[in-house]
Amino acid sequence: MKIKPGILFARLVAVVVVAIGVSLAVPLATAQNIDMPRFRWENFTTANGLPDNHVFCVLVDGDRIWAGTENGLGRYENGAWKIYRPADGLAHQAVLSLALDKRTGDLWVGTMGGLSRVSAGRIDNFTQLNSGLSNDIVYGVGVQGDFLWAATAAGASRLNTRTGQWALFNERNTPMFEIWTYSVSPAEDKVYYAVWGGGVLEYDVKTEHWKDYNDPDGETELVLMKDQGLIHEITTSVSYVDKILWVATYFGASRYDGRYWHNFLQKDSGLPSNFLNQIKGVDGNRAWFSTDKGLAYYDGTNWAVYRPALDTHKPEMLVRDASGAVKNITVQSAPAHNYILGVDFQGDDLWVATAKGLSHGIRQHGSTETAQALRQDKATQGTAIPNR
């Protein structure tokens, strides 16, 4: 069928107008009509069974929630908490990091006194005395196939769970000029380490080579060359998802796609603070940020912050659009505290580790977009804690 030139032109004009309209619509949208995920928050403290209110990390294992606290590991299942402490076989009461081996169901627990493996109720401990682990302070753990990667206060350790062989990585065999490794995010092709004061280290699984990424501004708090590299040397968390690396530091966050860096600062993004304890990517475009001033979510364009208001302590949800417009959304609940240390996903829900309790963000449905925003089917991620 032939189309007359006049009609064709009119259709082209219409398509262009619609396209322009759509493209304008996104940036012109205000915070008022952006649908960011909303939650009803239920908070756990020692009053209802949590081992301790200072929660360093949280991990979701199906219907089971693991919370690493300053005084024990808690397992929440069927509405009840079970607590593991050294008397129960745990390496140490201060639980800093958690990782799940999704193939076996085994839980790896990084503590202030070694590494514990919890397998169907049995706990085996690995320490710097009884094993090849480099140091007993295990800030981060991650599982990559048959390998367990640990971020310790004395470099990186890797355990081959089939042979029992340990490999240690430190300043002598990597570009790690600081050995205070803080977080690890292993995937099939790469393993990333956040090195507190030493930027980011990348391990190429295929070539077995290490590479470091550092702040081009050096070890300063200046940002002279934003988006030209890692935002700061004091890194606290890494999350490698869909071949995109997300990095948290005490001075902002970074995203790296293998070629370009993009940095996020409080002054030019929706981050409520530049002080980040953890970052967890949903995919290559979306991530959750655990800061000292609330939990933040970035959907690739817009931001949302969830916290008790810093002044009134009343529940607060802030939404910031691409133009920088911020709207305060009325909410009835908030995470237990604005000092956030970690987050994990349970379907559409969130579990959040804070300095004053564990919070369960129960997704309030109404938008398919937000449901997608939380879903993550990637490899096991390591979690870490920020403070000494």
Partner 1 sequence: MLGRSDYVRKITWMVRSAPIASLISALLLALIFGLILVTTAATPPAKQDEPTTGDRYLSPIEMALSPDGRLLYVVCQAGDELRAVDIQSGKVVSTVPVGHVPSGIALSRDGRQIYVTNAWSDTVSVIDAATLKVVRTLPTGFEPTGIVSDHSGETLYVANRLSSDISVIDVNTGQEIKRLLAGRGASYLALSADGKFVYGTHIYPNAGAFRTPPNSEITVIDTARQAVVERKRLHNVAGVFHVALSADGKLGVAAQLRPKNLVPLAHVEHGWVFGDSLTLFGDDVGGTVQVPIDELERYYALPWGVAITPDKSKMFVTTAGSESVTVIDVRKLLDFTRNYTHTRKQSFVNDLSAAANYVTARISVGRNPRGTLLSQDGKRLYVANRLDDNISVIDTSAEKVTSTIDLGGPKTVNALRRGEQLFFTADYAFQGQFGCANCHLDATIDGLQWDLEPDGFGKDIVDNRSLEDLAGTEPFKWNGGNPDMPTECGPRTEMYFYRSQSYNAQELSDLVSFVYSLPYRPNRYRLANGELTPAQERGKAIFERTKYKNGNPIPEKNRCAYCHSGPKYTNQRQIDVGTGKPTDRSPVIDVPQLPNVVYSAPYLHDGSARSLEEIWTVFNAKDTHGVSNDLRKEELNDLVEYLKTL
* Residue ranges in contact with partner 1 by CB under 8 A: 103-106, 117, 119-122, 124, 128-132, 134, 146, 154, 161-163, 165-168, 170, 172
Q: How far is the CB of 206 from partner 1 (least distance, A)?
A: 18
Instruction: Please name which of 197, 192, 116 lies closest in space to residue 153, comparing C-alpha atoms.
Output: 197
| Shortest CB 164 distance to partner 1, Å | 8
- Please tell me the distance from the alpha carbon of residue 87 to that of residue 74, in angstroms, as a whole number: 14
Q: 247 with 211: CB under 8 angstroms? A: no
Q: How far apart are CA 244 and CA 336, in angstroms?
A: 30
Q: Which two tokens stand for residue 355?
A: 């300095």
Retrieve residue 81's tokens: 């908490």
Nearer to partner 1, 119 or 301 (CB): 119
- Minimum Å distance from CB 157 to partner 1? 9
CB-nearer residue toward partner 1: 124 or 283: 124
DSSP annotation of 196 reads: B
CA dist., res. 372 & res. 353, Å (int) = 22
CA–CA gap between residue 155 and residue 14 (Å, rounded):
61
Q: What is residue 19's DSSP assignment?
A: H
Identify which of residues 110 and 386 has a Cβ nearer to partner 1 in the complex: 110
Select 33 or 104, whichever has its Cβ closest to partner 1.
Answer: 104
Q: What is the dihedral of CA 268, 271, 273, 274, to 10 degrees?
A: -70
Residue 144, CA distances (Å) to 157, 269, 313 in order:
13, 33, 40
The two three-digit tokens of residue 364, written as one number: 């309030």
Question: In this complex, which beta carbon is closest to partner 1, that of residue 119 or of residue 285?
Answer: 119
How near is the Cβ of 298 to partner 1 at its closest, in Å?
34
- Cβ–Cβ under 8 Å, residues 327 and 319: yes
For partner 1, the closer CB: 107 or 374: 107
3-state class (DSSP) for residue 200: strand
Whole-angstrom distance, CA of residue 291 vs CA of residue 388 = 16
103, amino acid identity? R
d(CA 234, CA 254): 12
Kindly report the backbone phi and psi dihedral angles of residue 268, in degrees, each rounded to the nearest multiple of 5, phi listed first: -130, 20
Minimum CB–partner distance for residue 145 and partner 1 (Å): 9
Residue 379 vs residues 285, 351, 382: alpha-carbon distances, Å: 17, 18, 10
89: DSSP letter: T
Cβ proximity to partner 1, 38 vs 117, nearer residue? 117
Q: Which two tokens stand for residue 90?
A: 């745990």
Q: Quote the least distance from Cβ 125 to partner 1, whole Å.
A: 10
How far is C-alpha 93 from the geometric centre of its chain's CA atoms? Answer: 23
| 45 or 131: CB nearest partner 1 | 131
Sheet holding 276-281, edge to edge: 276-281, 287-291, 294-298, 303-308, 315-320, 326-329
In the complex, the smallest distance separating the C-beta of residue 115 from partner 1, rounded to whole angstroms, is 14
Least separation, in Å, of the C-beta of 105 and partner 1? 4
Q: 136 or 178: whose CB is closer to partner 1?
A: 136
Q: CB-wise, 207 or 332, nearer to partner 1?
A: 207
d(CA 194, CA 246) in angstroms, rounded, equals 10
